Amino acid sequence: MDPSLILLITLKVIVGLGILNVWLLRSGKSTAYRGGAAKTLRAEFATYGLPSWSFVVIGVLKVALALALLASIQYPSASQPAAIGLGLLMLGAFVMHLKVKDPMSKALPSLAVLAMCTAIVLL
């Protein structure tokens, strides 16, 4: 198997499962990466000053795009739109961390996922 294909599939799995983990398994749990002093993902959105409906909209988009990215392993035509969509959402997450003056350590996961999404688009 071509090494670049192995890298591409690996990145898709890391990003896809990582997003699903955050939004489906850990959304109600405290982590070191939550914005401000938020203990849950929903509280993090409030910390950023976002309306409550944005939590649902962003959550549905992230889960759908993560699933599309995983599906793109079998159906490559879904790869670019899913990676671009998730990358844009990760850029937004990074900006929100800057907005509330979080330390860079809290913003690193959003930058890492953005970098992986960029790599997926370029591969």
Summarize pLDDT for 2-43 with one digit per residue, the tens. Answer: 999 999 999 999 999 999 999 999 999 999 999 999 999 999
Pick the closest to residue 82 from 15, 1, 4 (CA basis).
15
Question: DSSP state, 12?
Answer: H
Task: Give residue 45's pLDDT.
Answer: 97
Q: What is the pTM of this model?
A: 0.94
- Residue 119 reports pLDDT greater than 90: yes
Pick the closest to residue 54 from 36, 42, 69 (CA basis).
42
What band does 1 get if pLDDT is binned at 50, 70 and 90? confident
pLDDT in tens, 30-76: 999 999 999 999 999 999 999 999 999 999 999 999 999 999 999 99
Task: Give residue 118's pLDDT.
Answer: 98
The answer to whether the CB of 94 falls within 8 A of the CB of 106 is no
Ordered by start, the domain boundaries in the chain are 3-122
